[in-house]
Amino acid sequence: MALDYDHLMATSVVDLPLSYRDTETMLYALSIGFGRDPLDRRELPYVSEFEGPPSTMPSMATVLVPDMFPPDLGWDFSQVLHAEQRMQLHRPLPPAADLLINKHISAVYDRGPKLGAVVMFEAEGRLAKDDTVIFTIGNTVIARGDGGFGGANGRGPKPHRAPRREPDLSCDISTRLDQALLYRLTGDRNPLHADPALAKSVGFGVPILHGLCTYGIACHAILKTICNYDSTLITSMDARFSAPVLPGDTITTDMWQDGNIVSFECSVKERGVRVVRNGKCTLVA
């Protein structure tokens, strides 16, 4: 069944209530590699409340919108690929909050039967108590089985390009064999990340890591290497996913800093594959 452009563009949710507490904040930090050394006092504020309310990772905004791209949009969800992630923080995320979420489809492009459809989603989170906007996030999704529905061609925003020089900084963060099982507790229960039989049926030897977990680990690397663990310095972060990560891989984040712009790419050197491209992180000017 072909995608219905008008139906997709009319798809929206307004004032969806969502609450999170410090338990979710600390769980998210654990799920992207914080606390591996429980004596590291730089990371303890993100995974404990001993010195006051926990610090909140900026990238946690990406897990605060339920069903960002839901399975029931008339597409072949088994062929859906999360291609890009965008995030802007209008102010630092609190360690706990009651939110109202708005989300909608902002664009749909038809790249033909071979390349699929490109669907772009946008969402914002506001504090329920005073309607203050906290974050805006965007996703680009490729529906590989749904091209050729008769829509306009297009690709979305032009990707950011890293400088043509050797990286200024690099950071290695290892993932655990159970990393996907831990990360899925932040909200994404897609069985591709937990069911070995399903993963094998679609061409993977093992359940793969969530793309947004890799995204969070890249944010962790920037926070650790450039921001000296000050989460309030990060105001936006965009990236393009280019290959899956397998639990147990070590993710190397290469960084180029030009003023308040950090360009970044992630790779798994053990397997010789680049997993994140076109990364751009904006810091407080």
| CATH code for the domain in which residue 22 is found | 3.10.129.10
Check: CB of residue 139 under 8 Å from CB of residue 85.
Answer: yes
pLDDT digits (tens, 9 = 90+) for 241-267: 999 999 999 999 999 999 999 999 999
How many domains does one find in the chain? 1
Q: Per-residue pLDDT tens, the chain, 285 aa: give them.
A: 589 999 999 999 999 999 999 999 999 999 999 999 999 999 999 999 998 999 999 999 999 999 898 888 999 887 889 999 999 999 999 999 999 999 999 999 999 999 999 999 999 999 999 999 999 999 999 999 999 999 888 878 899 999 999 999 999 999 999 999 999 999 999 899 999 999 999 899 999 999 999 999 999 999 999 999 999 999 999 999 999 999 999 999 999 999 999 999 999 999 999 999 999 999 999
Check: CB of residue 84 under 8 Å from CB of residue 139.
Answer: yes
The pTM assigned to this predicted structure is 0.96
Q: Which residues are catalytic?
A: 188, 193
**CB neighbour class for 77 (10 Å; exposed up to 12, middle 13-18, buried from 19):** middle
Structural domain containing residue 39: 5-283
Angle between helices 211-225 and 22-31 (to 10 degrees): 90
